[in-house]
């Protein structure tokens, strides 16, 4: 069996480099004007050109999102962007609007088209429709079961892609108007405020100002908030059903998330078809719990999403570790590190490096960029310190949050 592609989010250039470093086969990114993640860092045209060059030199594919639902006033800028894409030649463009499909076919016919999940492809006839138009791939709706995916696979030669990890939108295939109504920011134009994650209470029409909890939590409830999708234990089943690409949600997430998810799913994909190591599988879940999530669900792949997969009356986000920094250079035992958080001598840190997972190292000393010994350093600074063997350039450093310091496994400084 050919191993499915691991497709990672690249909300900005740093996240793109992180995704590639930890093993992504492909990345998806966009210009904020035409992408459904308008609040991500995104890419200017010059940055996109450089990103495509950077990825291609490393054998990684780049898919550009142009998946807004455009109005007439958007079309002149869209046309200019399509002409730019025809020049830089990404591996594919992800879109959902039929008009944009026609424009891309006219202005940049050499670029492959991937049909976005926003197009709501839930049946074989819809897949064959896009196939006849010349699409290369379809990102299937999140509302499909594995059995339905098998049926679609039998009827089309299109490449099939599914989301396997990340946030789940409560609206049908992401077509949401809650943000527009409550905050005048359209999710369908990349400006979603995640209104479904807000705290909600019940108020009776004639009792203004009297608030009642929907459930037992008097602080409110995340009544519309689903747990995050996590299919890391079921990738073999999806591959057997005919999926060619496993997609990770998260262009607005930080590099801590990108690094951890891509690393875990890279290992899981590479393990498809081989013996299952339960110890490693448990480590994957611990690694996925290190950064912010809402808990995990398998979504609708195995049928209707269970009621327990919604965060009715608990805190929405949880995480066990926080990002400390990124390794910029390694020379022998010394590393140059870009800090993303405060770090003090005596802190225990973990390196997201192969073979060092879940090992804690004590920071015994740091130096500033002018070689002065320091005991404390704040975020956005550059420091130098000793690191264990096996740490690589671009590896990230984490620290446990709200937990007792782990017993040191060796010196990290």
For the chain, the structural domain boundaries read 5-173+225-309, 321-400
> pLDDT at position 172, please?
54
d(CA 366, CA 315): 36
Residue of 243, 262, 217 lying closest to 22 (CA atoms): 262
38 burial via Cβ count (<10 Å: 0-12, 13-18, 19+): buried
Q: What is the pLDDT along the chain (413 residues), one digit of tens a residue?
A: 689 999 999 999 999 999 999 999 999 999 878 876 555 557 899 999 999 999 999 999 999 999 888 899 999 999 999 999 999 999 999 999 999 999 999 999 999 999 999 898 999 999 999 999 999 999 999 889 999 999 999 999 999 999 999 987 666 555 565 666 566 666 555 566 666 666 666 676 777 777 665 554 444 445 566 788 999 999 999 999 999 999 999 988 899 999 999 999 999 999 998 887 788 889 999 889 888 677 888 888 998 666 554 554 454 557 789 999 999 999 999 999 999 999 999 999 999 999 998 899 999 999 998 788 999 998 778 999 999 999 999 999 999 986 443 333 343 44
d(CA 38, CA 192): 8
* Cα of 211 vs its chain's centroid, Å: 36
Contact indicator for 382, 369 with CB cutoff of 8 Å: yes
Q: Are strands 382-386 and 334-339 parallel, antiparallel or unpaired?
A: antiparallel
Query: Measured between alpha carbons, how far is residue 185 from residues 167, 197, 286 in Å?
Result: 19, 15, 35
Say whether 26 sits in a helix, a strand or coil.
Answer: strand
Residue of 11, 89, 90, 8 lying closest to 43 (CA atoms): 11
d(CA 165, CA 249): 6
d(CA 44, CA 84): 11
For 101, the enclosing helix (H) or strand (E) is helix 98-107
DSSP label of 73: G
Contact indicator for 31, 44 with CB cutoff of 8 Å: yes
- Cα dihedral 214, 219, 225, 228, rounded to 10, equals -140
CATH 3.20.20.70 fits domain 5-173+225-309 = yes
How many other C-beta atoms can be found within 10 angstroms of the C-beta atom of residue 315?
A: 11
Token couple for 68: 């807004």
> pLDDT at position 81, please?
94
**Beta-bridge partners for 373:** 367
Token couple for 370: 């002018």
Token couple for 103: 């424009």
* CATH node for 321-400: 2.40.30.10
d(CA 53, CA 123): 36
Helices and strands, number each (H, E), in the chain: 10, 20
pTM of the model: 0.83
**321-400 matches 5-173+225-309 in CATH topology:** no
First-residue to last-residue Cα distance in the chain: 44
d(CA 294, CA 317): 5
């Amino acid at each position: 069996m050919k191993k499915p592609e691991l497709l990672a989010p690249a909300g900005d250039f740093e996240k793109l480099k992180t995704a590639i470093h930890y093993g992504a086969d492909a990345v998806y990114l966009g210009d904020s004007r035409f992408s459904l993640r308008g609040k991500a860092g995104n890419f200017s045209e010059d940055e996109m050109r450089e990103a495509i060059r950077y990825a291609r030199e490393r054998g990684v594919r780049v898919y550009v999102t142009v998946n807004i639902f455009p109005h007439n006033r958007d079309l002149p800028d869209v046309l200019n962007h399509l002409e730019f894409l025809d020049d830089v030649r990404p591996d594919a463009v992800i879109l959902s609007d039929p008009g944009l499909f026609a424009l891309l076919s006219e202005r940049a016919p050499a670029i492959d088209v991937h049909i976005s999940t926003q197009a709501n492809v839930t049946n074989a006839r819809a897949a064959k429709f896009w196939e006849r138009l010349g699409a290369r791939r379809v990102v299937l709706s999140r509302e499909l079961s594995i059995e339905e995916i098998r049926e679609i696979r039998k009827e089309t030669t299109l490449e099939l892609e599914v989301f396997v990890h990340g946030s789940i939108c409560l609206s049908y295939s992401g077509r949401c108007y809650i943000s527009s109504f409550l905050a005048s920011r359209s999710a369908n134009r990349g400006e979603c405020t995640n209104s479904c994650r807000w705290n909600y209470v019940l108020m009776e029409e004639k009792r203004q100002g009297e608030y009642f909890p929907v459930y037992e939590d008097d602080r409110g409830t995340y009544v519309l908030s689903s747990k995050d999708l996590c299919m890391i234990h079921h990738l073999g089943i999806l591959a057997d059903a005919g999926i060619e690409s496993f997609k990770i949600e998260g262009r607005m997430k930080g590099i801590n998330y990108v690094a951890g998810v891509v690393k875990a799913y890279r290992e899981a994909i590479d393990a498809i078809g081989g013996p299952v190591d339960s110890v490693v599988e448990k480590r994957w879940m611990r690694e996925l719990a290190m950064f912010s999530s809402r808990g995990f669900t398998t979504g609708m792949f195995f049928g209707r999403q269970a009621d327990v997969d919604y965060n009715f009356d608990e805190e929405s986000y949880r995480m066990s570790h926080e990002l400390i920094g990124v390794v910029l250079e390694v020379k022998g035992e010394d590393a140059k590190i870009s800090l993303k958080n405060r770090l003090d001598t005596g802190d225990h840190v973990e390196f997201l490096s192969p073979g060092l997972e879940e090992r804690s190292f004590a920071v015994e000393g740091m130096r500033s960029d002018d070689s002065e010994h320091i005991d404390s350093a704040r975020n956005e600074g550059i420091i130098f310190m000793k690191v264990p063997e096996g740490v690589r350039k671009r590896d990230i450093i984490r620290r446990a949050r709200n937990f007792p310091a782990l017993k040191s496994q060796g010196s990290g400084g």
